[in-house]
Amino acid sequence: MARKQISLMRAAPPYLPALSEALRKTWAAFAESDEDLVRDFRQRRDNRNEENRSAGVDWIGNRVRPAPAPHRILVTNGTMNSILLLTCSLVPPGNVLLTEELTVPQIYTLAKIASVEVQGVRIDKKGLIPDDFERKCRKHAPRAVYINCTVHNPTAYVTPTERRKEIAEIARKYGLQIIEDEAQALYLEDLPDSFATIAPDISWYLMGLSKYLSLDVRIAFVVAPSERLLANNLERLLQVSTWHPEPVMASVVTRWIRSGVAQSLLRSVRTEIRKRQAIVSELLSDIDGFRGSSGIHFWLPAPAGVDSEQFSRMIAEAGILVQPSKLYAGDCGARFEGIRPSVGDPVDFAEIRYAVEVIRDIYYLFWFGSVP
């Protein structure tokens, strides 16, 4: 009998029937309304669309305080598109972009496209280590730092407010811009202040919808420090249409946010994710270094003496696909050996439980030579 294969690779929200129902009702509403969908097919919705920008303010909610004026909002064709746009705008070719030493793998690809060098800053269980951050600022004279520290990908930490304040002070001291990616912040209830709230003059805040609703909802909102900086930094790129949101999807997302449908879908996904993470914690919480989260992935260190690729390969041979931490280290060796499984793709609770039981058993086999 073939071994059952389950992928925990994609950091995706779970599929819920409510999403299909929302789409069905939206298409029906468009068909029955006086709105001209042909108009959306014939013209792009660029950043001059006030309705889209205002929807962005609503979606971001109180993560940026005080609430940004719509003219500080940039609406883009998704999170990765936004990061590339900001990297090209804020970091000249040949200069350095700092990141956490483990960061989203696509950052390395985007940096190569922008001809930018990536340097990693050491992290601990709270995020960027301030001393090493300042050391890297002195050594490399970076122009910006990309930070993904609210349910960090991959290690799932959440950087507390006081640590963020330390990082912001150092960034301001050395003239860095902060690119803050809060891909999963809306899953949490008790949140630290965002960098955009702590240091609004140097922070470029980013939040999309793909990690909350569906990976194919490729709309993201960027909050710039000011309207002037938004215009100055992006003026040379304004005529390039690839970063503009797809017009029909922008119409759908704006309607959903304005009507509360997006928020309702988010609540449903959040409830589902917490139930899935509860199963994960039940099975793995006795393993030293395990870090669960309220988001769509968790972190499990590899057994002592085992590297992340070896650990993930053994798990894959048992039918469960996971991401090894080496993917997040770029060309540098990873100081942290572990895996980042996602809880979104399995179809139900039973599949989650089965997959995590397999991971737990393989961990024990490495550690103890047998399953307890």
CATH code, 6-15+262-368: 3.90.1150.10
CB environment 259-271: b (16+ within 10 A), e (fewer)? eebbbebbebbbe
- CA–CA dist 97, 108 (Å, integer): 10
pLDDT of residue 46: 55
- CA–CA dist 229, 83 (Å, integer): 16
> How does strand 144-147 pair with strand 96-100?
parallel
Q: Look at the alpha carbons of 17, 23, 29, 32 in this order and tell me if their dihedral is positive or negative.
A: negative
Q: Are 99 and 120 in contact (CB under 8 A)?
A: yes
pLDDT of residue 1: 35
pLDDT of residue 369: 61
Q: What is the DSSP string of 62-89?
A: GGSSSPPPGGGEEEES-HHHHHHHHHHH
pLDDT of residue 246: 83
pLDDT of residue 2: 47
Q: Where are the domains of the chain?
A: 6-15+262-368, 19-260
pLDDT of residue 37: 60
CATH code, 19-260: 3.40.640.10
pLDDT of residue 332: 76
Checking phi first, is residue 271 left (phi over 0); if not, alpha (psi -120 to 50) or beta? Answer: alpha
Instruction: Looking at the chain, list the stretches that DSSP marks H as alpha helix, in order from N- to C-terminal side.
Output: 17-32, 37-42, 50-60, 79-90, 106-113, 130-140, 161-173, 195-198, 227-234, 247-259, 261-284, 308-317, 349-368
Instruction: Show Cβ contacts of residue 344 under 8 Å, excluding neighbours closer than 6 positions.
Output: 10, 11, 12, 13, 14, 273, 276, 296
pLDDT of residue 104: 96
Average pLDDT, consecutive stretches of 10 residues, N- to C-terminus, the chain (372 residues): 79 93 89 65 62 94 95 93 93 97 96 96 97 98 98 98 98 98 96 98 97 93 94 74 82 94 97 98 96 97 94 96 95 87 95 97 80 54
pTM of the model: 0.94
Amino acid identity of residue 271, one-letter, is: T
DSSP state of 327: G
